[in-house]
Structure 1
């Protein structure tokens, strides 16, 4: 499967795509939104996935970086990330 995979590992969000693996602490995540622009508004954002052929984008804003996930199932990925964040908040 070539799609982006998101999972929860301890207190981190893990984003896997191809051979890349990015870990973001949940405490650093400020906002998770959908983006309707073609390449994202943040010019210095870290882009994950293939921007061509993918119609949807999920933006993860952290304290220090912005991540743009190019995917075909943006709503599902966004909901999964938000669910992980809510679980983290409940545990604290």
Structure 2
């Protein structure tokens, strides 16, 4: 219900959460990692998801922005993102 959804559409990655929708060109993605801090290390990052204490964080670093995805299903999201990038 409050989970983040990630899918590939053409040469973009679309991230949906509640009423938010973010489109990131795959060619702009520099790195994907995890973050073990509560609110994320980067103060200027775009945050999606509910930042509960038990929530894990997936970080997407692009050429212009950083995105922090708060999710309880970080392994699945990270695998999807890596597969989308590697298939590009």
Q: Please, what TM-score do these two structures have when normalized by structure 1?
A: 0.92
Q: Which runs of 4+ in 1 moved over 2 A?
A: none
Question: How many angstroms apart in 2 are the aligned matches of 1:54 and 1:60?
Answer: 20
Q: Is the 8 A contact 1:54 1:71 kept in 2?
A: no
Residue aligning to 2:21: 21
Structure 1 residue matching 2:41: 3-state secondary structure: coil
Segments of structure 1 that go 5 or more residues without pairing to the other structure are: none
Question: Which is helix-richer, 1 or 2?
Answer: 1
* 1:26 to partner: Cα distance: 0.2
CA contact (8 A) 2:12 2:25 kept: yes
| DSSP-derived class of the 2:81 partner | helix
Taking structure 2 as the reference length, the TM-score comes to: 0.96
Secondary structure, aligned partner of 1:42: coil
What is the root-mean-square deviation of aligned Cα atoms in Å? 0.9
- 2:84 and 2:56 map into 1 onto residues whose CA distance is 20
**Highest CA radius of gyration, 1 or 2?**
1
Unaligned runs of 5+ in 2: none
